[in-house]
Amino acid sequence: MDPTYDPQKIEAKWQARWAEQKLFESEVDTTRQKYYVLEMLPYPSGDIHMGHVRNYTIGDALARYMWMKGCNVIHPIGWDAFGLPAENAAIKNQRHPSEFTFNHIDRMRGQLKRLGVSYDWRREVATCVPEYYRWNQWFFLRMLERGLAYRKKSRVNWCPSCETVLANEQVVNGCCWRHEETPVVERELEQWFWKITAYAERLLEDMKDLVRWPERVLSMQQNWIGKSVGAEIDFTVNGIGERLRIFTTRVDTIFGCTAIYLAPEHPLVQKLISFRPDPEKLRQEAAHVKASAVRARVDVNLEKQGVDTGFTARNPFNGENVPIWIANFVLMEYGTGAVMAVPAHDERDFDFSVKHGLPIRTVIVPRDGEVPQKLEAAYTESGANGRLVNSGPYDGLTPEQAIEKMTRDAEAKGFGRGTTQYRIKDWGISRQRYWGTPIPVIYCDSCGIVPVPDKDLPVILPPDVKLTGQGQSPLASVPEFVNTRCPNCNGRARRETDTMDTFVDSSWYFYRYTSPHIDTAPIDKEAVHYWFPVDQYIGGIEHAILHLIYMRFFTKVMQDIGLVDFSEPVARLFTQGMVIKDGAKMSKSKGNVVDPTVMFAKYGADTVRLYTLFAAPPARDFDWSDSGIEGAARFLMRSYRLVAKYAAQRASRGGGHASGSGSSKWELDQLSPEERRLIRKTHQTLRHVTEDLEGRWHFNTDVAMAMELANELGELEKAIDEGKVRPEILKNSLEYLVLVLSLFVPHIADELWEGLGHAEPTLRIPWPAYDPQYAAEDELEIPVQVNGKLRGKIRVAVSVSETEIRERAQAEEKVAQFISGRQVIKIILVPKKLVNIVVR
């Protein structure tokens, strides 16, 4: 063992040795408990960033712990390799996207290896190769077979910067998720969709199994799916006899309906205009409302505007005729695009009615209460405590009862029905870009849409394509690709030229890791059966409703086609906080980026890893501090010197290789005070770290405990040198310190471990059990309170194996000195913590 601490040298040495020993490779082994540690796969952007370092360091600590616990650990990594940045770079530099992508992968692979993460590199997957994306196409065909893929012309989100369509999930605050400054515009396009809405209920329902997922993620997904239970009611448009269907969650208030509002895009609008004697005026006004609605999508607090169509609709419940308005706040995409206005019990309807002088009728009043005098307050009284009034046969019912009865009645009479609406929309997967999976579909003039047969997969992305980024599918300009034969009739046909959303790639990559090279199916069922579910998934919160909902959807489809026999792929999810600098997200434009590779060069990878774990609990955001990392570096240097010193002494005594870690037992009363102190601290550290890794995951406190143990060793240095601590006890403590460190700083730990005389790397060493006897306090200074006031302390020598009874007796003996003759009412003794004497 080298007495001088040179992290670069140590890290290179151990990385080479681990690779040579194939230390992180695992295979299916049904005799052993498996454990699947998964981190979200990176996009090969060129260089890893601190978020990656944090993500993979957390995963690595867990993976190493599980290895040492004796589990058969799978810990894979891959590349989310399709996507726009490579295509854009390719356009700019007149090169091929694959060139960028593979260069970046090579570079980032090197950086990850430099970080020393325990990956099984044989399982590496890149999503941009035909061996992978052919299975995206295969899944597409299965979706098509099951009616889950369909083509539809619709208004879609278009990002002018990406020059392509975006899914709803990829629009954030009206802007593109990649271009936060670029507002999304709407375009009418023919697109492929995947019917995720068919799984909305199951996505909600199965959340009950995700007990080890963060509440936050589940609630975000729940919001996103946006289930609301209500009813559709058919009104009739007077004069033209047309049916007008509305959706409401509050059918109980329908007797308070004083108008119908249509979304500006509602198909009935054009019809009503045409029936007007003076169509032009209404047409202009309607266009005006529509324009304001478009603005309202960007600016949410825009004023409510509307126009009366002059037509009325008949309320089937009471036969009343109410005016039909066009209103800018009604969404065509939600429900039926038409709503009933109940101004007395809905704030928006109230505002609108006041503005346009529409009547307001209260139909729900508080139980035993009076009709509210102030109309503004009325809509607050529509809750569970209310009773219906002015509602004909339904008077006196609670809203809950009324909803049920009115829905039943509407169904019986045929003018309505109970329905459920979801906010989530089908997943639009078509992208008008090149660097993605070709959609395996052929258009034939005589046969229509024809799926590419399985035997013809993969549909290879043609390498020679002129990339312009001009907003149309680049594949359309490659005749050899486009022009093909119909698999049905062998007639002339054209291929689909759009590619798939890259979120398709990441929806199932973690299955592929378990059998990355199989070429007869997307996954090997046996391997998946053994390794799944993923025991621990770790990644950023930003994917809460993108990747993490698509992935769940995909698994359910896979279950339905018999590929897997479970419905949720991830048992436990951990979302780490962001790495920020000076209170802001790191970004090139802000110039506050901390480059991990620069830090590796300056401090070594272990120091960077240690600092990212130590600075904050993993779930929280952490603000990078350049001086903070110095502390981590100092600690490692100190620990290294400490162990090196005793390793050197050992070597000079001629110690050869030792076997395993010494788990010797010592009688407590035969230990010197220094030995007791050291052993206690050692086992306390072990206890803390073990319990923390079993669930709490506050790695910052684990590192702090290791620091305390090292500090304790430092403080005892003189006593140790004087021989007050037996060498075997010292060695035992040092070994446990090193094993704890091996989770966080594996290179240095292995170097130290070797220095302590062990041949095997720490990963192969069983995680040591702490001994509760040693971990317990054995001599305590207990604060004594009288009537809750701190009055002093007593020293109580508590044998660690003793019970509370003994402690109580000792405490009571000593209590007298604190009460000076007053009557004791009770003594509250918190074991090992505190004595409180309550006196009169």
Partner RNA sequence: GCCGAAGUGGCGGAAUUGGCAGACGCGCUACAUUCAGGGUGUAGUUCCCGUCAGGGAGUGGAGGUUCGAGUCCUCUCUUCGGCACCA
Interacting residue with RNA among 73, 286, 616, 749 (CB under 7 A): 616
Determine if 484 is a binding residue for RNA (CB under 7 A): no
Interacting residue with RNA among 51, 59, 316, 337 (CB under 7 A): 337
Q: Closest distance between RNA and the C-beta of residue 39, in Å?
A: 21
Determine if 816 is a binding residue for RNA (CB under 7 A): no
Q: Which is nearer to RNA, 565 or 694 (CB)?
A: 694
SS3 of 339-359: the string is EEECHHHCHHHHHHHHHHCCC
Determine if 836 is a binding residue for RNA (CB under 7 A): yes
Determine if 691 is a binding residue for RNA (CB under 7 A): yes
- Contacts of RNA in 299-318 (CB under 7 A): 300, 302-304
Contact 118, 26 (CB under 8 A): no
Q: Closest distance between RNA and the C-beta of residue 655, in Å?
A: 26
Determine if 781 is a binding residue for RNA (CB under 7 A): yes
Instruction: From 106-114, 146-154, 191-199, 325-333, give the range in contact with RNA by CB under 7 A.
Output: 325-333
Q: Closest distance between RNA and the C-beta of residue 592, in Å?
A: 15
Determine if 235 is a binding residue for RNA (CB under 7 A): no
Dist. CA 37–CA 570, nearest whole Å = 10
Determine if 834 is a binding residue for RNA (CB under 7 A): yes
Contact 192, 439 (CB under 8 A): yes
Q: Closest distance between RNA and the C-beta of residue 7, in Å?
A: 14
Burial bucket for residue 597 (CB in 10 Å: 0-12, 13-18, 19+) = middle
Contact map string, positions 176 to 215, toward RNA, x by CB under 7 A: ---------------------------------------x
Interacting residue with RNA among 3, 70, 110, 226 (CB under 7 A): 226
- Contacts of RNA in 513-542 (CB under 7 A): 541
Determine if 631 is a binding residue for RNA (CB under 7 A): yes
**DSSP notation for 706-771:** HHHHHHHHHHTHHHHHTT-S-HHHHHHHHHHHHHHHHTT-HHHHHHHHHHTT--S-GGGSPPPPP-
Burial bucket for residue 421 (CB in 10 Å: 0-12, 13-18, 19+) = middle
Q: Closest distance between RNA and the C-beta of residue 478, in Å?
A: 36
Dist. CA 47–CA 421, nearest whole Å = 44
Determine if 637 is a binding residue for RNA (CB under 7 A): yes
Interacting residue with RNA among 21, 33, 93, 219 (CB under 7 A): 219
For RNA (CB under 7 A), the number of binding residues is: 82
Q: Closest distance between RNA and the C-beta of residue 617, in Å?
A: 4
Determine if 330 is a binding residue for RNA (CB under 7 A): yes
User: What backbone torsions phi and psi does residue 405 show, to the nearest 5 degrees?
Assistant: -70, -45
User: What backbone torsions phi and psi does residue 388 show, to the nearest 5 degrees?
Assistant: -75, 140
Determine if 599 is a binding residue for RNA (CB under 7 A): no
**What are the structure tokens assigned to 592, written together?**
């506050």
* CA 799 vs CA 671, 772, 776, 804: distances in Å: 14, 13, 9, 11
**DSSP notation for 670-685:** GS-HHHHHHHHHHHHH
Interacting residue with RNA among 44, 59, 97, 230 (CB under 7 A): 230
Q: Which is nearer to RNA, 111 or 170 (CB)?
A: 170
**What are the structure tokens assigned to 148, written together?**
């889950």
Interacting residue with RNA among 125, 307, 339, 815 (CB under 7 A): 339
Determine if 838 is a binding residue for RNA (CB under 7 A): yes
Q: Closest distance between RNA and the C-beta of residue 530, in Å?
A: 32
The answer for residues whose C-beta is within 8 angstroms of residue 813's C-beta and 6 or more apart is none
**What are the structure tokens assigned to 26, written together?**
């695992």
What pairing do the DSSP bridges indicate for beta strands 364-366 and 386-388?
antiparallel
Interacting residue with RNA among 15, 236, 419, 421 (CB under 7 A): 421
Determine if 817 is a binding residue for RNA (CB under 7 A): no
Polymer length in residues for the chain: 840
Q: Closest distance between RNA and the C-beta of residue 222, in Å?
A: 7
Degrees to nearest 5, angle at CA 422 with 417 and 425: 130
Dist. CA 39–CA 547, nearest whole Å = 13
Instruction: From 562-570, 619-627, 647-655, 753-761, give the range in contact with RNA by CB under 7 A.
Output: 619-627
